[in-house]
Structure 1
Amino acid sequence: MEQGQLFETTDEHGWTWMSLGSICVHLCSSVVCAFCVVFLSVCLNVESEGAESWQARYEAGLKRLAEGKYLLAQEEFKAVLADNAASVEAHNALGVSYQKAGELELARLSFVRALELNPSFVEARTNLGLNSLLRNETDRAVQELEKSLQLDPQQPLVLFNLGVVAARAGELRSAAAYFEKALALQPDDARILYNLAAAYFASSQPRPALEKADRLLALPSLDSEVCLEAGELLSRYGHAARAVRFYQMAKRQSSAASAGGKTSSNFDQLLADASAQFQRDVKAIAQLEAQVKSSPNDPVHYFNLGLMLTKLGEFSRCFELLKPAVARFPRSSEIRLAYALACYFTGRNDLAEQAYLQLVQMQPNSDQSHFALGNFYADAGRLEEAAASFRRAIGKNPGNYLNHYMHGVALFRCQSYLEAAASLRMALKLNPAHADSNFWLGKIYLLRNDRVKALQAFERAVKLEPKHVGAHYQLALLYARLGEKAKSQEALEIQRQLNAQLHKGIVALRMP
């Protein structure tokens, strides 16, 4: 066996894809699942006499591990450590065998021992982080995974797991950023593409979401389960045409009838529903186009057609419709707004900004024009300009709670936490039933280490919005820190169920 990292592969990326139940924990398809990568390396450096025996036992353990004979593998690695207790590779391998057998605490101890011997041993550092993630020790998992990335930044599965953690916490834009980094290292991975599309959809960014869905569809090979998941995701966000294509691809797979736990009748129903919705969308567009044709001087029809095309992800068609319309109806604020959206969704950010600024000029006393400009800046990552626009919106209409809320979120992302808290409190004064304001205020309390107020804020958020994924996740972490294990597990289970289709991953083993 060669020294260094070797891979047992079942796909073109060098990853072994296995069922979740066969590794160390069963995370069913109805929950958020993380990639769990297990590293093993053979870096043997012993005296030649006895090395053959040492390496023979180690390699025998690796063989047992690959065969799924975890107890026998453990015996081999323990025998190696009896002769060479300082072998970080053997401690790491023993931890892998424990983790695959579901012995998470014993696995953790093995990884910790390997790191005590060599704190820079990246494989053990990564495995310890992933072990903590499987044990729902999120803070520790993030710390270890970030340390692992400092040792080796080129780890797509570690980046993916950090994205999963961010998604669980409701930080979908941060999740997408991690997934993008993972995709840059593994550009044709179906699971990363799927999760990216889901993160972008959930954070109201349909253009990159659809781009990732199209890349996913263009992959040369795609298993039926991923096709079904992608089809369901697209159907949920109203993109029936693309959903139909994914369902049709899944149907061509030999295992389509049982993919993802779906029966043949379930699968046929999904395809039929998506096809019917697609036909309704086509009909609706045709009717709106007919209205534009019959009443070419009415901007309302252009506006309605533009919004429908945007909703269905037909961004280029929307831009081609509204580019001449904005010249034809220069005084229509509705057309200007729709045109700004079309520019943004087709990647023409300069034109989009220009259109939003013109909208502000057209409606200088309206908070909505400043609010729209603030949303654009926030989506473009220009957070200080976003905060300034939302502040102007507040000046125009201080009684609109959404102006205060968006101002608070923008300030939070600018790390201006005191000002953010003030804006969020004002949003809640105007609308005490706003769950998201409670959620972001809770995050500020966490940063201040005020767990009591944070707990109250998150509990209010889930009471107001029982399906608030991020608030349930933060509650799970807080309850755990406060020693309320039962409540923590309950909140985490709710969060997992709510996140059923959002971010799916399959445990992947990096094997010798």
Structure 2
Amino acid sequence: MTDKNQQAVKEMQEGDLEAAAKLLNEAIEEHPEDPVAYTNFGNLLAAVKEDEKALRFFEKAISIDENAAAAHYGKGNIFFNQDNFEKAIEAYQKTLEHGLLESDVYYMLGLSYYQMNDLSHALPSLQRAIELNPKDIDANFHYALTLAQLELVDQAVEAFNDVLLLDPEHADSCFNLGVAYAYKDEAEKALKMFERAIAIQPDHVLSHNGKKQIEAQLNGN
């Protein structure tokens, strides 16, 4: 990475996108065959929701160097944000093939499969994301959700509890634990989890509904 690329990334991180754009323009003029500058410019454009322009920069980086893993990842994120999950999966797989074996890539790949309801493919990607970054709350949560939807309920309970160890205020995990306990006919535990979700997030509609159903069940109605 050239100095101007490094400076540009720093400016982007600090929120000065105009300065970053100027530096990246200069970097591209000085080194027109450097895929890194095009990738960084793509990331900058993606940050301001200029998706089609961003894609063109990522494509340019890849045309210079097919192994530009970060450009493939940028493409994947654009497609994901456009709900084009098939193309996102393809881009994320290429990201991994070209050596960017990071937690975020596995998470986004798993999330793309999850959005397509391809749970058997989502599970190993999300599991790998957690192995690489055990403290990633979103990856842990979606891993737990995937287990639950595959009806691996005991494993899902364990995984939702892992999320609550990382974030005790995670209302959606409390709700899903309530559902899991209800599924296991453990009504008292289910009620506690729905109540905990409501205590954290008073407008958690699904937890209010779950609480009513469990209370009716416990009261013999």
TM-score of the alignment, normalized to the shorter chain, above 0.5: yes
1:184-228 deviation per Cα after TM superposition (whole angstroms, max 9, x unaligned): 212232211111111111122212111101222223xx173xx11
- Pair 1:147 & 2:94 matched: yes
- Judged with a 3 Å threshold, the aligned counterparts in structure 2 of structure 1 residues 81 and 161 are, in CA distance, closer, same or farther, namely same
Structure 1: segments with no counterpart, 5+ residues:
1-42, 45-54, 257-261, 285-512
Task: Tell me which protein shows more helix as a share of its residues.
Answer: 2
Q: Secondary structure at the match of 2:203?
A: helix
1:182 paired with 2:125, answer no
Partner of 2:176: 233
2:51 paired with 1:104: yes
* Identical positions, percent: 15
User: What stretches of structure 1 move > 4 A for 4+ residues in a row?
Assistant: 267-273, 278-281
Instruction: Using the TM superposition, give the Cα deviation of residue 129 of structure 1 relative to its aligned residue in structure 2, in angstroms.
Output: 2.0
**Counterparts of residues 290-439 of structure 1 (less than 5 Å):** none
TM superposition shift of 1:171: 1.7
Whichever residue aligns with residue 277 of structure 1, its letter is I
- Report the Cα distance in structure 1 between the residues aligned to 2:55 and 2:150, rounded to whole angstroms: 35
1:201 paired with 2:148, answer yes
Query: Number of residues paired by the alignment?
Result: 215
C-alpha distance after superposition, 1:374-409 (max 9, x if no partner): xxxxxxxxxxxxxxxxxxxxxxxxxxxxxxxxxxxx
Equivalent position SS for 1:152: coil
Structure 2 length as normaliser, TM-score?
Answer: 0.81
Q: Measured at CA, do residues 202 and 114 of structure 1 come closer, stay the same or move farther in structure 2, by a change above 3 Å?
A: same
Corresponding residue number in structure 2 for 1:303: none
Is the contact made by 1:142 and 1:162 (CA closer than 8 Å) also made in structure 2?
yes
CA, structure 1 residues 250+92, in 2 after alignment: closer, same or farther (shift >3 Å)?
Answer: farther
**CA displacement at 1:242 relative to structure 2:** 5.9
Asked whether the equivalents of residues 174 and 197 of structure 2 are also in contact (C-alpha less than 8 Å), the reply is no
Match of 1:493 in 2: none
Aligned letter for 2:203?
N
TM-superposition CA deviations, 1:296-335 (whole Å, max 9, x none): xxxxxxxxxxxxxxxxxxxxxxxxxxxxxxxxxxxxxxxx
Given that 2:179 and 2:190 are in contact with CA atoms closer than 8 Å, whether structure 1 keeps it comes out as no
- Tell me, in whole angstroms, the C-alpha distance in 2 between the residues paired with 1:63 and 1:203: 42
Contact 1:244/1:271 (8 A) holds in 2? no
Within 5 Å, give how 1:127-146 maps onto structure 2.
Answer: 127-146=74-93
TM-score normalised to structure 1 length: 0.38
- Sort the Cα spacing of 1:248 and 1:136 in 2 relative to 1 into closer, same or farther, 3 A: closer
Structure 1 pair 247–228 and aligned structure 2 pair: CA distance change class (3 A): farther
Question: 1:95 matched to which residue of 2?
Answer: 42
Q: Which residue of 2 aligns with 1:244?
A: 192
1:272 Cα offset (Å): 10
Write the deviation string for residues 147-206 of structure 1: whole angstroms up to 9, x where unpaired: 111122632222222222222222222212221122121223221111111111112221
Q: Runs of 5+ in structure 2 lacking a partner? A: none
Write out per-residue CA displacement over residues 118-148 of structure 1, whole angstroms, 9 at most, x where no aligned residue: 2112211221222222233333322221111
- Separation in structure 2 between the aligned mates of residue 151 and residue 229 of structure 1, nearest angstrom: 35
Q: CA RMSD in A?
A: 3.1
Q: Which has the higher contact order (CA 8 A, sep 6+)?
A: 1
Residues 241 and 275 of structure 1 are in contact (CA less than 8 Å); yes or no, is this contact kept in structure 2?
Answer: no
Give the Cα–Cα distance (whole angstroms) in 2 for the partners of residues 228 and 135 of structure 1. 27
Question: Is the 1:232–1:243 contact (alpha carbons within 8 Å) kept by the matching residues of 2?
Answer: no
Q: 1:243 to 1:174 in 2, by over 3 A?
A: farther
User: Cα–Cα, structure 1 residues 277 and 136, in superposed 2: closer, same or farther, change >3 Å?
Assistant: closer
Contact 2:178 2:194 in 1 (8 A): no
Give, as a single letter, the amino acid of the residue that structure 2 aligns with 1:241.
K
One-letter amino acid of the structure 1 residue matched with residue 70 of structure 2: E
Match of 1:165 among 105, 112, 132: 112
Distance between the aligned counterparts of 1:156 and 1:148, measured in 2? 12
1:58-73 aligned within 5 A: 58-73=5-20
Distance 1:70 1:279 in 2: 56
Contact preservation (8 Å) 1:91, 1:114: yes
